[in-house]
Structure formats: structure tokens, C-alpha cells
């Protein structure tokens, strides 16, 4: 089964192989999936499925590809930019990877800096700790947004980490994120990795009778001419749970071990090596790994991980070193976002759905 999954993934990414035949065999299912997506979109367009409009501008950062493409670092960079511009920002998230067996898993949860990642999700907790803004998680992003605004009426803009296909939540701007895979083989699930047809049709805003602007963002060096290229690099330091910082160069040639429970662990390991780190041992874990039963051999050297892993790992291994990912949004993208925010705020304040924030 693992070989089949690997072959199909390669076919999804347009790398050929025998999985391509399997992908072609799955095309009828993809056509059925596409019909359902188109029908659902049309029902929203007709107003039979209702979009819920929140009283402040909403920005959705999402993707059309299955798997991680680097949305959360972009979300954090966006939140930090908006905060620096004077906006009071709140963040909404589904809280992917959190424990759904608890009694309140289906409800709305406030993410505190002291929250447990298994309860609220590792990415929302990382956002709350890094950006120091209100973060609420729920499977229903509309309900989460309403609860956040009720608890924090001074919030002026909401950023939704993921949820491009959560059309129930009306939005004023979309950032669609890609990585080096582009759109893969171009097929919809399950023959390909796409959640929506591409080129993507603009979502129509029922609130303002206009299409929602969608900016295309790429986290790789293979961006197309119509995409904004995001620069990502590791910081030149690592930090522990108590805030202690240490320059990466201080390890010199001393071997260390690295682990990563992200979409592409090998990318993190390669970045560490590019910083001159000597990796004695690596552990490539599945995305959102809970770290509860992780075995670490101290004799293999100091442990280096991503910040996303650290919010869970530090509960058991507070001496692990987290290396931050530094994400730089291009000036052209920030200008486009700022311009759209002015338009969105004016539209909200002049509409029946809007209200003046403090």
C-alpha cells in the first residue's frame, strides 16, 4: 500500500512512473468530484447556500493543492505586517491535527499561549505565541469569527489560516499559496492533487456583488510571472523553551540531530546543512506529529527542530532547540494587500454588515 501511495503521489506531482496509469484510472472519480465542487459553488452563487458576512474585512490564506505548501508562515508574516500597519488583527483556524476525541473538539476554542497543542492544533498555537494576537479555532470558521469578535470587539481584520474552500465564510481577499509542485498533474482528487479546478474561478462575493480578489503566492523559486515570490530562510539562531538563544554557528562541526513533523521534513534538514550544521541523525515525521511517543537518544547530539514541532516537543523535551523560519513577503504583495484592505474597510463601514471599530 505504501508503494502505491508513493507512486500515486509521484503521478500527482507530474513525475510520471507507473502511478500515472493509476491516476488515469481514477479520472472518472475526479470528474464526479469536480461536478460536486462545481454544483456547490453554483449553489453559493445562486444564494441557495448562504455566505456569512462578518463585520470586519476577512483575508483567507489557503491553497488548492493537497498537502502543506507553507501557508502558516505566510499567515504569520501577514499578521505581523498588518499589526505593524496599525491594524488590530485576529486569526481563525480549523486547528488541524488537534485531538478531536475530546468533548469540546467540535466547538470553538480560544488559543492561549499556554494552550496545549493537542487541544488547539500546533499551527494555531504557534501563531498565538509568535504574533501575540487573538486566535480562535473551530471547524466552522464563521462561528469562530463571530466568537472572536464578540470577545475582542476592537479587532479590525480577521486572517483565516487555511479555508480557501470554506465558502460559507465570506471573504474580502484571498491569498492562494503554491510551492514548487505548481498544480501537479492538473487533475482533481483523487486522480490529482487539486481540490478545485484550475485555473480557479473567482469566488463571487454575495455581500458586495463583485468577485473576490485572489493573489497568487509561491513559496519556491519556480514562481510564474503572475505569482508573488515569497522568500523563506532559516534564522541564524535557535531557541529553547525558556527563551535561551544560541547562534547556529556556535555548534561548529559538532554533530547534532534534527527532527521535523512538517509536510517536507527534508527541506528543513537541507536548510540546516546549508547553514553549516552537521546532522548526525534525522527523523522525518509525518505532518502534525503529536510527539507524544517520540524517542530521542541524547547521545546523538543536541536536538534541533522547527518551531511548529517545538510547541509540542517542548512539553517533553524543553531543551530541544527550535530554529525559526523567517518568511519575507515581497513589497509588491504587501502593497496589493494594503490597497485591498483600504477598499474592504470602506466597503464594510458603508454596508449594512459593517460597523465602526474602536
The mean per-residue pLDDT over the stretch 161-182 comes to 94
Cell of 32: 464526479
pLDDT at 207: 63
CA distance 239 to 309: 13
The mean per-residue pLDDT over the stretch 273-287 comes to 96
* Same domain as 293, residue 167: no
Beta bridge partners of 318: none
What is the domain range of residue 283? 235-326
Lowest mean pLDDT among 16-20, 131-135, 214-218: 16-20
* Same domain as 334, residue 216: yes
Asked, for residue 207, whether it belongs to a domain, the answer is yes
* Same domain as 160, residue 293: no
pLDDT at 356: 36
* Same domain as 53, residue 198: yes
pLDDT at 348: 87
Strand locations in 48-140 (E):
58-62, 89-93, 109-111, 135-137
CA distance 315 to 313: 5
* Same domain as 223, residue 164: yes
User: Is 144 strand, coil or helix?
Assistant: helix
Is residue 228 very low, low, confident or very high in pLDDT (cuts 50, 70, 90)?
very high
Is residue 135 very low, low, confident or very high in pLDDT (cuts 50, 70, 90)?
very high
User: What is each CA distance from 42 to 15, 35, 172, 197, in whole angstroms?
Assistant: 33, 10, 19, 14
Q: Over 90: is that where the pLDDT of 98 sits?
A: no
* Same domain as 175, residue 79: yes
Q: What is the pLDDT of residues 305-358, one digit of tens each?
A: 999 999 999 999 999 999 999 999 999 999 999 999 999 998 888 776 544 332
Q: What is the pLDDT of residues 41-71, one digit of tens each?
A: 999 888 899 999 999 999 999 999 998 899 9
Spacing of C-alpha 303 from chain mean position? 25
How many domains is the chain built from?
2
Cβ atoms of 257 and 300 closer than 8 Å? yes
Asked, for residue 138, whether it belongs to a domain, the answer is no
pLDDT at 100: 64
By percentage, how much of the chain surpasses pLDDT 70?
A: 95
Is the bond preceding 238 in cis, omega lying within 30 degrees of 0? no
Q: Over 70: is that where the pLDDT of 245 sits?
A: yes
The mean per-residue pLDDT over the stretch 210-231 comes to 90
First and final CA of the chain: distance in angstroms?
56
The mean per-residue pLDDT over the stretch 114-130 comes to 95
- CATH code for the domain in which residue 55 is found: 3.40.50
Q: Over 80: is that where the pLDDT of 106 sits?
A: no
By percentage, how much of the chain surpasses pLDDT 90?
A: 77
Amino acid at each position: 500500500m505504501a508503494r502505491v501511495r508513493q507512486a500515486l503521489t509521484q503521478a500527482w506531482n507530474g513525475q510520471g512512473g507507473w502511478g500515472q496509469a493509476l491516476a488515469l484510472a481514477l479520472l472518472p472519480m475526479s470528474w464526479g468530484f469536480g461536478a460536486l465542487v462545481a454544483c456547490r459553488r453554483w449553489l453559493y452563487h445562486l444564494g441557495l447556500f448562504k455566505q456569512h458576512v462578518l463585520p470586519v474585512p476577512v483575508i483567507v490564506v489557503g491553497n488548492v493543492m493537497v498537502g502543506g505548501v507553507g501557508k502558516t508562515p505566510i499567515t504569520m508574516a501577514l499578521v505581523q505586517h498588518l499589526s505593524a500597519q496599525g491594524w488590530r488583527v485576529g486569526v481563525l483556524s480549523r486547528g488541524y491535527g488537534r485531538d478531536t476525541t475530546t468533548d469540546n473538539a467540535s466547538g470553538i476554542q480560544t488559543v492561549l499561549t499556554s494552550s496545549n497543542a493537542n487541544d488547539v492544533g500546533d499551527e494555531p498555537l504557534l501563531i498565538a505565541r509568535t504574533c501575540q494576537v487573538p486566535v480562535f479555532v473551530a471547524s466552522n470558521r464563521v462561528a469562530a469569527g463571530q466568537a472572536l469578535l464578540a470577545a475582542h470587539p476592537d479587532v479590525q481584520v480577521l486572517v483565516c489560516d487555511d479555508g480557501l474552500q470554506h465558502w460559507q465564510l465570506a471573504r474580502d481577499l484571498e491569498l492562494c499559496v503554491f510551492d514548487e509542485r505548481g498544480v501537479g498533474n492538473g487533475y482533481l482528487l483523487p486522480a490529482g492533487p487539486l481540490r478545485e479546478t484550475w485555473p480557479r474561478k473567482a469566488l463571487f462575493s454575495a455581500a458586495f456583488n463583485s468577485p473576490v480578489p485572489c493573489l497568487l503566492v509561491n513559496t519556491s523559486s519556480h514562481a510564474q510571472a503572475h505569482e508573488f515570490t515569497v522568500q523563506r530562510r532559516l534564522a541564524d539562531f535557535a531557541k529553547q523553551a525558556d527563551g535561551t538563544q544560541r547562534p547556529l554557528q556556535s555548534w561548529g562541526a559538532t554533530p547534532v540531530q534534527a527532527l521535523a513533523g512538517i509536510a517536507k521534513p527534508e527541506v528543513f534538514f537541507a536548510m540546516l546543512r546549508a547553514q553549516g550544521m552537521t546532522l548526525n541523525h534525522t527523523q522525518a515525521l509525518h505532518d502534525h506529529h503529536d510527539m507524544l511517543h517520540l524517542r530521542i537518544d541524547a547521545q546523538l547530539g543536541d536536538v534541533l527542530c522547527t518551531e511548529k514541532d517545538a510547541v509540542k516537543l517542548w512539553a517533553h523535551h524543553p531543551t530541544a532547540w527550535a530554529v525559526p523560519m523567517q518568511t519575507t513577503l515581497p513589497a509588491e504583495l504587501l502593497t496589493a494587500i494594503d490597497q485591498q484592505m483600504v477598499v474592504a474597510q470602506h466597503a464594510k463601514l458603508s454596508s449594512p454588515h459593517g460597523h465602526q471599530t474602536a
